[in-house]
Amino acid sequence: MAYPSWFSRRVILAAGASAMAIAAAPAFAQGEIKLGAVLSVTGPASFLGDPEKRTLEMVVDDVNAKGGILGRKVRLIVYDDAGDPNAARTFATRLLEEDKVTAMVGGSTTGTTMAMIPAFEDAQVPFISLAGAVQIIQPVKKWVFKTPHTDTMACEKIFEDMKKRNTTKIGMIAGTDGFGKSMRDECVKVAGKYGIEILHEESYGPRDTDMTPQLTNIKNKAGVQAVINPGFGQGPAIVTRNFKQLAINVPLYQSHGVASKQFIGLAGDAAEGVRLPAAALLVADKLPDSDPQKKVVVEYSKAYTTRTGQPVSTFGGHAYDGFMIWKEAVERAKTDNAAKVRDEIEKTKGYIGTGGIVNMSPTDHMGLDLSAFKMLEIRNGDWTIVQ
């Protein structure tokens, strides 16, 4: 019978191949350090994945030009999931099973990150995510970390500012997209902690073009001292314009979701006086020299703009921070062994990055506090830092 002999030959071949792989492994370990990155470079989340990819390629080239990490070259393996969690999971399996990476810096969106987490937990390989939601690190997962601030922190930063100004009664108008909804929930959760009372709540769809009715309701509600607008994209710009048209005479707070020059362009004059929390990267040139983040954000934005010819975004900054936290952990561990690097990532203390100063612990796999956000106010069509 031909089948059994073919079968046994396959088994022998497979056994031989795996024996060779085992024999070859120690020699290979001294070669390149493999870092994986599954990013949403194309598709609806490309505004996240594209700067992240460019940033990682830039820093890996830099590190390799300076002799690599521990004298070993870093090989970056990037896969594009196009924003599809299912594809992300497949590429994660590929990184782990085929490419044998010893760490991953990636996961542009919360959806792709959540889809990939089980793969990294099973394989016991550290995974530094670049996505926002708090559910990535709460409850704490042994192998998962993240660099961006959470929307909870944005709410807290805003409420902290309100408290300073003795504002306690507010109105809220939130987008119903993923970002707006998630942040709205977090704001409602932490409002009590700052003694803030949400008197009235409104919402709008991601494609709505007029929010005057909702804002009129808020205007007519007696006692509202400020309005907060968790949202993303063009919605907040329309809210800002309508807010001005209705001459609502209380401060308007926007979220870190609109922290880009585009927003000022869209909202025009109405943006004047709007306050929002944002990462230091956005105001790199306006930071006082005494600011510990000044050096890193100025250097990163200069390097990124020179290399890519595009303005910096906070998302690329998240990838920069993820890479640096991993690099420093590998240097401290003196190996790229997954378990040892994970332990060192968790011990990250006082790392000064584009997103803030990172102090991780076994219970906090993000390590940022409210100082990571700067409170900005838009004046004369530009950002100013509010103290």
Partner 1 sequence: MARLASSRWSIVLGLAIVIAALPFLFPSNYYFRVAAIVNIFALAVVGLNLLMGYAGQVSLGHAGFMGIGAYSVAIGSAHFKLHGLLAMLIGAALAGLVAFLVGRPILRLKGHYLAVATLGFGLLISMALANEAAWTGGPDGMGVPRLEILGYRLRGPDTWYYISGGALLIGVILALNLIESPTGRAMRAIHDSEIASRVAGIDVAAYKLRIFVLSAIYASVAGSLMAFLNGHITPDGTAGFLRSVELVTMVVLGGMGSVVGAIVGAAVLVILPQALTIFHDYEHLMLGLIIMVSMILLPRGIVPSLLARLRGGGA
Interacting residues with partner 1 (CB under 8 A): 7, 10, 14, 17, 42, 79-80, 83-87, 89-90, 93-94, 96-98, 109-111, 114-115, 117-118, 122, 133, 135, 176-178, 181-182, 185
As given in the structure block, the two tokens for residue 221 are 């509600």
Residue closer to partner 1 (CB basis): 98 or 331: 98
Per this entry, what is the length of the chain?
387
Rounded to 5°, angle at Cα 339 from 338 and 343: 115
- Smallest separation, CB 246 to partner 1 (Å): 28
- Smallest separation, CB 259 to partner 1 (Å): 21
- Smallest separation, CB 119 to partner 1 (Å): 9
Residue closer to partner 1 (CB basis): 126 or 180: 180
- Smallest separation, CB 114 to partner 1 (Å): 5
- Smallest separation, CB 174 to partner 1 (Å): 12
Q: How far apart are the first and last CA of the chain?
A: 84
What DSSP element (H or E) covers 385?
A: strand 382-385
- In DSSP notation, 109-171 reads SHHHHHHHHHHHHHHT--EEE----GGGTSS--TTEEE-SPPHHHHHHHHHHHHHHTT--EEE
Residue closer to partner 1 (CB basis): 111 or 231: 111
Report d(CA 240, CA 248) in Å as an integer.
10
- Smallest separation, CB 202 to partner 1 (Å): 16
Residue closer to partner 1 (CB basis): 141 or 332: 141
Report d(CA 18, CA 144) in Å as an integer.
30
What DSSP element (H or E) covers 294?
A: helix 294-308
Residue closer to partner 1 (CB basis): 231 or 251: 231
The residue whose two tokens read 């507010």 is: 170
- Smallest separation, CB 235 to partner 1 (Å): 15
Residue closer to partner 1 (CB basis): 136 or 274: 136
- Rounded to 10 degrees, the C-alpha dihedral 174/177/183/188 comes to 50
Residue closer to partner 1 (CB basis): 7 or 269: 7
Report d(CA 12, CA 363) in Å as an integer.
47
- Smallest separation, CB 179 to partner 1 (Å): 9
- Smallest separation, CB 118 to partner 1 (Å): 5
Q: Which of 283, 178, 288 is nearest to 232 (CA)?
A: 178
Whether 386 and 275 have beta carbons less than 8 Å apart is answered as yes
Residue closer to partner 1 (CB basis): 99 or 272: 99
Segments of 1-64 assigned E as strands: 33-39
Report d(CA 227, CA 172) in Å as an integer.
6
- Smallest separation, CB 89 to partner 1 (Å): 5
Residue closer to partner 1 (CB basis): 119 or 191: 119
Bridge partners, 227 (sequence order):
171, 252
b/e per residue 43-58 (b: at least 16 CB within 10 A): bebbebbbbbbbbbbb
Residue closer to partner 1 (CB basis): 42 or 305: 42
What DSSP element (H or E) covers 174?
A: strand 169-175
